[in-house]
C-alpha cells in the first residue's frame, strides 16, 4: 500500500510503501507525479520510504515492473530522490545507482537515508523548493 507521508506545495513528493505494492499504488504514484509535472515543474523531487522490506516478496511483480518501467521512461523528470529504508542492501544499491545514473541525468541527485533520518530526507527533497514555470 502506498501512502503520501507529507503533502508539498512545490515540486516534492514523499511516499511510503507499507506492505504490498499493487497496481492501484502504481497508478497513484504516476498520478501524483504527473500532477506535479502538469503544474509546470521541470523536475519532481521524490522520497520513497520502504517500510518492512520482508513484505516485498508478496508484492505484485507486474505492478513493480511497470512502476520501474514508468520511472525509467520519466527518468529525466526526476530531480532529488531520497530512498528511506533500514537495509544495508538498499543502501549499497542506491550508492552505486546514484553514481551511474548521474552520468545519464545531471539533474538527478539520489541519496539513501536510514529510517531514523526521515526528517533529513524530507529536507533533502524540499530544499530550495522550485516554483512552477509559468504556462505559455
Considering the domain boundaries, does residue 136 fall inside one?
no
Domain count, the chain: 1
Residue 80 sits in a domain of what CATH number? 3.30.750
What stretch of H or E contains 83? strand 78-85
* Helix residue ranges per DSSP H, 1-136: 23-38, 61-73, 88-104, 118-126
C-alpha to C-alpha distance for 20 and 1, rounded to whole angstroms: 6
CB 81 within 8 A of CB 44: no
pLDDT digits (tens, 9 = 90+) for 38-93: 999 989 999 999 876 555 555 555 655 665 666 666 778 888 999 999 888 888 88
| Residue 38 domain boundaries | 2-126
Considering the domain boundaries, does residue 24 fall inside one?
yes
Considering the domain boundaries, does residue 131 fall inside one?
no
pLDDT digits (tens, 9 = 90+) for 36-49: 999 999 899 999 99
CA-to-CA separations, 14 to 50, 73, 132, in angstroms, rounded = 11, 20, 18
Considering the domain boundaries, does residue 134 fall inside one?
no
Considering the domain boundaries, does residue 132 fall inside one?
no
First to last CA, the chain: 37
Amino acid at each position: 500500500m502506498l501512502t503520501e507521508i507529507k503533502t508539498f506545495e512545490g515540486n516534492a513528493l514523499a511516499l511510503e510503501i507499507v506492505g504490498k505494492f499493487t497496481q492501484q499504488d502504481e497508478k497513484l504514484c504516476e498520478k501524483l507525479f504527473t500532477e506535479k509535472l502538469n503544474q509546470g515543474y521541470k523536475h519532481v523531487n521524490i522520497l520513497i520510504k520502504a517500510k518492512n522490506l520482508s513484505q516485498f516478496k508478496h508484492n505484485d511483480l507486474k505492478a513493480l515492473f511497470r512502476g520501474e518501467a514508468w520511472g525509467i521512461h520519466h527518468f529525466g523528470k526526476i530531480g532529488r530522490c531520497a530512498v528511506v529504508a533500514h537495509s544495508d542492501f538498499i543502501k549499497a544499491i542506491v550508492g552505486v545507482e546514484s553514481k551511474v545514473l548521474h552520468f545519464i541525468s545531471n539533474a538527478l541527485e539520489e541519496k539513501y537515508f536510514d529510517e531514523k533520518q526521515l526528517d533529513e530526507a524530507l529536507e533533502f527533497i524540499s530544499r530550495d523548493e522550485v516554483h512552477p514555470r509559468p504556462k505559455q
